[in-house]
Amino acid sequence: MSERWRRIPAFEEWEASTLGRVRVRKTKRIVIQWMHDGYFEISLRSINLKVHQVVCVAFHGPRPKGMEVSHINENPLDNRPLNLKWATPRENNNMPLHRKRVSEASRRRFRDPKIRKQISEAKKQYYRDPKMRKRKSASCPIGLSKFRGVSKHGRRWRAQIRIDRLLVDIGSFDTALQGALAWDKYVRNHKLPRMTNKEKGLL
């Protein structure tokens, strides 16, 4: 089967292929990919993007509201369009290998007294802070921060922003404040039509 290419919406200078590769449309130069948090990433216009999201948008259309990319064979490195589809978070979380990994990780996590203490402190902080209580996803306080675009991933804080239905990973930080400052800087540097944390009075 020959490799086919399609333009990437919102990034028309590049194309994605049926083999999960990305190239410059004019020069046909293949874009270098690297691993980050278990997924392949690329940089387009100085923006870090996950390859599976780029390929899925190119071949399966814009991301429907409330949906995310699902790897059908549960191999996060297989970014061929035939292995990708839009799915709800619940559908993704109910995949057999994912459920097994989450179950094992949860058992290890709650055995660690340091982790249990962090969860307890996070819950106390959540219920003390009225701004955090107003957030829509209040059922999961451990993953939240009071800042825009910043959430807890493991023991670190990750800053992310969605541009044209693509989730851009800004970086991972030791504190939520560092993530918020990086998020604001990213918004200013790329002149995005978003209110920064400082403008919202959160800094």
Q: For the whole prediction, is pTM greater than 0.75? A: no
Report pLDDT digits (tens) over 86-120.
999 888 777 766 555 555 555 555 556 765 666 56
- Is 175's pLDDT higher than 70? yes
CA angle 179–67–34, rounded 5-degree value: 55
Rg (CA), the chain: 19
> Across all residues in the chain, what is the average pLDDT?
81
| Domain residue ranges of the chain, discontinuous segments joined by + | 5-93, 145-203
Give me the pLDDT at residue 189, please.
86
Instruction: Give the CATH H-level superfamily of domain 145-203.
Output: AP2/ERF domain (3.30.730.10)
Which residue has 């993704």 as its token pair?
92
Of residues 62 and 115, the one with the higher pLDDT is 62
Helix (H, G, I), strand (E, B) or coil at 196: coil
Give me the pLDDT at residue 23, please.
95
Helix (H, G, I), strand (E, B) or coil at 121: helix
Report pLDDT digits (tens) over 180-196.
999 999 888 888 888 89
**CATH-assigned architecture of domain 5-93:** Alpha-Beta Complex (3.90)
User: 170-175: long-range contacts (C-beta < 8 A, 24 or more apart)?
Assistant: 170/48
How far apart, in whole angstroms, are the C-alpha atoms of residue 81 and residue 52?
Answer: 8
- Is 32's pLDDT higher than 90? yes
- Is 156's pLDDT higher than 50? yes
Which residue has 């390929």 as its token pair?
55
Report pLDDT digits (tens) over 64-83.
988 999 998 888 889 999 99
Dig out the tokens for 193 from the structure: 């039509």
Phi, psi (deg, nearest 5) at residue 153: -130, 105
Which residue has 């290998």 as its token pair?
97
Of residues 101 and 139, the one with the higher pLDDT is 101
